[in-house]
Amino acid sequence: MKILNEPKELQRLAETIRLQEKRIGFVPTMGALHDGHLSLVKIAKQRADVVMVSVFVNPLQFGKNEDFERYPRPFERDVELARLAGADILFAPSAAALYGEGFQTFVEVREISKGFEGDVRPTHFRGVATVVLKLLNLAKPHVAVFGEKDAQQLALVRRMVADLNLDVEIVGAPIVREPDGLAMSSRNVYLSAEERREATILYRALQEAKRALESGERNPDALKRLVVATISSVPIATLDYAEIVCAEDFSPTPALQSGKTYFLILAARFGKTRLLDNLRFSL
Amino acid sequence: MKILNEPKELQRLAETIRLQEKRIGFVPTMGALHDGHLSLVKIAKQRADVVMVSVFVNPLQFGKNEDFERYPRPFERDVELARLAGADILFAPSAAALYGEGFQTFVEVREISKGFEGDVRPTHFRGVATVVLKLLNLAKPHVAVFGEKDAQQLALVRRMVADLNLDVEIVGAPIVREPDGLAMSSRNVYLSAEERREATILYRALQEAKRALESGERNPDALKRLVVATISSVPIATLDYAEIVCAEDFSPTPALQSGKTYFLILAARFGKTRLLDNLRFSL
């Protein structure tokens, strides 16, 4: 596995690979890799000849009082995990290399950036859209793989790719979970032992909703109430939101329609740690 | 010359051309082609194997009370002129094809979009940046050529390309003028006979400033006063601004430094028609 730090070097290599008519698969990450990320690398490998993984903790997508500084950066371990998962190229630029002097260009995906994570983190999605566009321009992939755990981010990336006519296929990959159901996240390491134990309530709440759906429940409010009630059984969990949204445009839905795909999304805090989870379903 | 209307079709063709290791040169225009545009096509031909010209009056870069509806659209003539100038592919999409349902993604180049044209036309440069990015993603050029008459636009495109890591070389082409000095513009057709006659004052004012520079004048305020005084000699001309800015970041300069490149930019109205002109100079 080749490790590159210079944006221009990655771009030149990507161009060379494309001219060889090889397909490039790309997995952008903020590092602190876990099995969720590694599943994305595997999907990229199935769909491409050369797999690039980027490791970059993007300052632009963190708010002022967020965890940019303490975000985990186990770089040597990430290198090893990416290599074992079969990545061919690991791109790890510095912030200075990616955001040069005079940087002033931002991408805004408007409606999808509003609500949910966009409400709690007002400049987050502008930072995500901007860095993803930059990385796509450098890695020049034919296909890029994103995790479905960050469902709003995935919808935003799909929308940006369509709106800006980017020539890349976006693939969403299912959430990977710990044995007890907790969705894998680089932020899980922040949890205390108690918080870690109780955090499985998010998965359990989603499973309750899934069972209700399977039993024929079609009322979004009833499904949400079920999730809220389940999570409220854990006193140390503070629910930020639970909502059912259309998968495509992330708009809340007043009524479920058959043939459409939805996410039941939720965010909850355990102490200072915010966790996301969701259930994807179609009727 | 091939004429394409479908974005995806242009993108597929561009990818095929790149895989043949041919260089693509791109000239984005709003049509109503004149010798200024044709000079861009010639420059693109010198630098590339295949030249693409787009003709698209971009609604996104027009304000509500601007001239989007009456902007000239002599399409048959544009096709003929592009063909004669040696373009290989002409791309003329509909607005609906380029801005599909649910479109919501915008590119903002912040500082360079402020001041001058950005003050008079608050959403103009967001529209320019967004459409230029979309067109670059579709045409996949190795080199794209823009006219220096729209100097702020050129600076913005250069900044966006650097900030978003676009793999394209941006070339600025010198202003092409009518025999009496008026900078060529698709909007010149709006001028009445009298306005057209008097509009040469812009060029004459820039020539006065050029002579003063050649005589050793180095005071930006003195140069600006000269331009203002010259233009005020024509009662039907209303000067919007005259300023000396650094070519790179378009910031006004309090003092000229040797080794740097500047634009003396100006905008003036003749009746309802706004005209831009500028003088590029280095010390």
Report yes or no on A282 lying in a domain.
no
**A152 CB-near residues (< 8 Å, 6+ apart):** A112, A116, A117, A118, A125, A250, A265
Q: For residue A67, name the pLDDT band (cuts at 50, 70, 90).
A: very high
Alpha-helix runs per DSSP H in chain B: 7-19, 35-47, 75-85, 95-98, 117-120, 124-139, 151-163, 193-198, 201-214, 220-232
Same structural domain, B139 and B258: no
**Residue of A54, A111, A138, A165 to mutate for B, most B C-beta atoms under 10 A:** A165
Same structural domain, A18 and A145: yes
Query: Contact A160/B249, CB-based, under 8 Å?
Result: no
Residue among A114, A106, A51, A120 nearest A82 (CA):
A51
Section A138-160 average pLDDT: 98
Confirm whether the ipTM is greater than 0.95. Answer: yes
Contacts of B129 in chain A (CB under 8 A): 105
User: Could you tell me the CATH number of the domain that includes residue B214?
Assistant: 3.30.1300.10
Residues of B annotated as catalytic are: 37
Do residues A52 and A10 touch, judged by C-beta distance below 8 A?
A: yes
Do residues A92 and A5 touch, judged by C-beta distance below 8 A?
A: yes
What pLDDT, on the 0 to 100 scale, is given for residue B63?
95
Q: What is the pLDDT of residues B146-165, one digit of tens each?
A: 999 999 999 999 999 999 99
Report yes or no on A281 lying in a domain.
no
Residue A244 tokens, joined: 């059912």
User: Per DSSP, what are the bridge partners of residue A24?
Assistant: A50
**B106 CB-near residues (< 8 Å, 6+ apart):** A107, A108, A110, B126, B129, B130
Residues above pLDDT 70, as percent of chain A: 100
Determine the Cα–Cα distance for residues B60 and B73; give it in Å rounded to an integer.
17
Q: For residue B70, name the pLDDT band (cuts at 50, 70, 90).
A: very high
Same structural domain, B37 and B123: yes
Contacts of A11 in chain B (CB under 8 A): 165, 167
Residue among A235, A105, A244, A229 nearest A164 (CA):
A105
What pLDDT, on the 0 to 100 scale, is given for residue B154?
98
Residue among A146, A58, A15 nearest B166 (CA):
A15
What pLDDT, on the 0 to 100 scale, is given for residue A249?
94
Same structural domain, B67 and B199: no
Residues of A annotated as catalytic are: 37
User: Could you tell me the CATH number of the domain that includes residue B53?
Assistant: 3.40.50.620
Q: In a 3-state reduction of DSSP, which class is residue B46?
A: helix
What pLDDT, on the 0 to 100 scale, is given for residue A117?
97
Same structural domain, A215 and A101: no
| Phi, psi (rounded to 5 degrees) for B246 | -65, 135
Residue A45 tokens, joined: 């490998």
Residue B278 tokens, joined: 């500028």
Contacts of B111 in chain A (CB under 8 A): 104
What pLDDT, on the 0 to 100 scale, is given for residue B119?
96
Torsion sign across C-alpha atoms A233, A235, A236, A237? positive
Q: How many domains does chain A have?
A: 2
Report yes or no on B181 lying in a domain.
no
Closest-CA residue in chain B for A167?
B137
Q: What is the pLDDT of residues B91-145, one digit of tens each?
A: 999 999 999 999 999 999 999 999 999 999 999 999 999 999 999 999 999 999 9
Q: Exposed, middle or buried by CB within 10 Å (0-12, 13-18, 19+), for B70?
A: exposed
Pseudo-torsion of CA B129, A18, A134, A267, nearest 10°? 120
Q: What is the pLDDT of residues B175-197, one digit of tens each?
A: 999 999 999 999 999 999 999 99
Do residues A59 and A97 touch, judged by C-beta distance below 8 A?
A: no
Average pLDDT, chain A: 97
For chain A, the first-to-last Cα distance in angstroms comes to 43
At which of B130, B150, B173 does a domain end? B173
What pLDDT, on the 0 to 100 scale, is given for residue A25?
99
Per-residue burial over A83-115, b = 16 or more CB atoms within 10 Å of its CB, e = otherwise: eebebbbbbbbeeeebbeeebbbbbbbeebbbb
Report yes or no on A108 lying in a domain.
yes
Section A202-211 average pLDDT: 98
What pLDDT, on the 0 to 100 scale, is given for residue A107?
98
Do residues B253 and B244 touch, judged by C-beta distance below 8 A?
A: yes
Average pLDDT, chain B: 97
What pLDDT, on the 0 to 100 scale, is given for residue B7?
98
Q: For residue A193, name the pLDDT band (cuts at 50, 70, 90).
A: very high
Which residues of A make CB contacts under 8 Å with B?
A: 7, 11, 15, 18-19, 21, 98, 100, 102-112, 129-130, 133-134, 137-138, 140, 159-160, 162-167, 249
What pLDDT, on the 0 to 100 scale, is given for residue B255?
94
Strands A89-91, A169-173: pairing kind: unpaired
Q: What is the pLDDT of residues B229-277, one digit of tens each?
A: 999 999 999 999 999 999 999 999 999 999 999 999 999 999 999 999 9
Same structural domain, B206 and B154: no
What pLDDT, on the 0 to 100 scale, is given for residue B261?
97
- Nearest beta carbon to residue B105 from set A7, A103, A160: A160
Q: What is the pLDDT of residues A208-239, one digit of tens each?
A: 999 999 999 999 999 999 999 999 999 999 99
Q: In a 3-state reduction of DSSP, which class is residue B200?
A: coil
Report yes or no on A20 lying in a domain.
yes
DSSP states of B103-172 as a string?
Answer: --EEEEETGGGSSTHHHHSTTHHHHHHHHHHHHHHHH--SEEEEETTSHHHHHHHHHHHHHTT---EEEE
**B46 CB-near residues (< 8 Å, 6+ apart):** none
Report yes or no on B26 lying in a domain.
yes
- Nearest beta carbon to residue A167 from set B15, B98, B162: B15
Contacts of B125 in chain A (CB under 8 A): none
Same structural domain, B164 and B205: no
- Nearest beta carbon to residue A112 from set B104, B108, B112: B104
For chain B, the first-to-last Cα distance in angstroms comes to 43
- Nearest beta carbon to residue A137 from set B98, B109, B166: B166
Contacts of B159 in chain A (CB under 8 A): 102, 104-105
CA distances in angstroms from A224 to A150, A208, A212, listed in the order given: 19, 10, 11
Section A70-95 average pLDDT: 98
Contacts of B162 in chain A (CB under 8 A): 100, 102
Report yes or no on B40 lying in a domain.
yes
Give the domain range for residue A146. 2-173
Instruction: Say how many C-beta atoms besides its own lie within 10 A of residue B249's C-beta.
Output: 13
Report yes or no on A280 lying in a domain.
no
Same structural domain, B13 and B130: yes
* Angle at the Cα of A53 from the Cα atoms of A51 and A58, rounded to 5 degrees: 155
A to B CB pairs, distance under 8 Å: 92
At which of B112, B139, B173 does a domain end? B173
Query: Contact B108/A108, CB-based, under 8 Å?
Result: yes
Strands B2-4, A237-246: pairing kind: unpaired
Same structural domain, A193 and A166: no
Same structural domain, B166 and B192: no
Q: Exposed, middle or buried by CB within 10 Å (0-12, 13-18, 19+), for B179?
A: exposed
Determine the Cα–Cα distance for residues B262 and B282; give it in Å rounded to an integer.
6
Q: Taking the complete model, does pTM exceed 0.95, yes or no?
A: yes
Same structural domain, B199 and B90: no
Q: For residue A143, name the pLDDT band (cuts at 50, 70, 90).
A: very high
Q: What does the DSSP 8-state code read for residue B71?
A: S
Section B274-282 average pLDDT: 97
Same structural domain, B71 and B101: yes
DSSP states of chain A as a string?
Answer: -EEE--HHHHHHHHHHHHHTTPPEEEEEE-S---HHHHHHHHHHHHH-SEEEEEE---GGGS-TTSSTTTS---HHHHHHHHHHHT-SEEE---HHHHS-TT--EEEEETGGGSSTHHHHSTTHHHHHHHHHHHHHHHH--SEEEEETTSHHHHHHHHHHHHHTT---EEEEEPPPB-TTSPBP-GGGGG--HHHHHHTTHHHHHHHHHHHHHHTT---HHHHHHHHHHHHHTSTTEEEEEEEEEETTT--B-SS--TT-EEEEEEEEEETTEEEEEEEEEE-
Query: Contact A137/B105, CB-based, under 8 Å?
Result: no
At which of B173, B206, B224 does a domain end? B173
Q: What is the pLDDT of residues A153-190, one digit of tens each?
A: 999 999 999 999 999 999 999 999 999 999 999 999 99
Query: Contact B167/A140, CB-based, under 8 Å?
Result: yes
What pLDDT, on the 0 to 100 scale, is given for residue B36?
98
Residue among A37, A58, A18, A186 nearest B16 (CA):
A18
Residue the block writes with tokens 């259930």: A279
